Structure 1
Amino acid sequence: MDEARLPAHLEVSGLIRAVDAAGGFGTVIAKGERDAGTLLVICCEKGTNAAAFERMPQADGTRRWTRVKVQDPENPNEFTAYCERRRAQDPDLWVIELDIANAERFILANETKG
């Protein structure tokens, strides 16, 4: 499936604005490649219960948001280390945080657009 892709910086901006408009907080932790960078989205509520999502390739050629890491409350540094390793592996990766109740709804609502 070869669809036009929204540039990464526009998708990031849109996600942050949507979360801010809903009363939450969105921020860029690390900037990636402006147009073709991939996104690692950290979803949390009041800074806790973080989960990281990335678009992963599917058998049908699409890319779907997939939870790739969940923060262990007993070892929160493990989650941070994972995000840092991902960034080191891919300098084009954007890392953004969406801090709002049910933050996943903001990325899953755009499932067909990415």
Structure 2
Amino acid sequence: MGGFAMVLQKGERDAGTILIVFLDNQDLGTLYERMPDVDGTRKWRVSKSQVIDNKQEFEDYLDRRKAQDRDLWIVELTVADRERFVRDNLSLT
């Protein structure tokens, strides 16, 4: 599968929330985070997508999240098939 990963924000080792930014071939980010579902599980979902016309708005959003939560982890991934990576590698519960 191959790819590249970089930690953009290092948070609390045992309790920090994890956000994953997937970069596409145009260097546009899609942000995933585990969100609570109605059945009580926490599934990975897209919470924000970067648009080519306003790349800075995505960066500003990440900056706000960092300021709100000092325990936050942000990991950036570049993989060939984002949906497959999420399906095959991230726990759905």
TM-score scaled to structure 2, two decimals?
Answer: 0.87
Identity %: 46
SS in 2 for 1:80: helix
Provide the aligned length of Structure 1 versus Structure 2: 92
Structure 2 counterparts to residues 33-52 of structure 1, below 5 A? 33-46=12-25, 48-52=27-31
Q: Is the alpha carbon distance of 1:104 and 1:34 closer, same or farther for their aligned partners in structure 2, counting shifts above 3 Å?
A: farther
Deviation of residue 102 (structure 1)? 2.0
Q: Which residue of 1 aligns with 2:57?
A: 78
Mind listing any 5+ residue stretches in structure 1 that lack a counterpart? 1-21
More helix as a share of residues: 1
CA RMSD for the aligned pairs?
1.6
One-letter amino acid of the structure 1 residue matched with residue 49 of structure 2: V
Native 8 Å contact 1:45 1:102 kept in 2: no
More strand as a share of residues: 2
Q: Which of these residues, 58, 62, 65, is aligned with residue 37 of structure 2?
A: 58
Deviation of residue 47 (structure 1)? 5.7
Deviation of residue 82 (structure 1)? 0.6
Choose between structure 1 and 2 for higher RCO, CA contacts under 8 A separated by at least 6 residues. Answer: 2
Q: Which residue of 1 aligns with 2:91?
A: 111
Mind listing any 5+ residue stretches in structure 2 that lack a counterpart? none
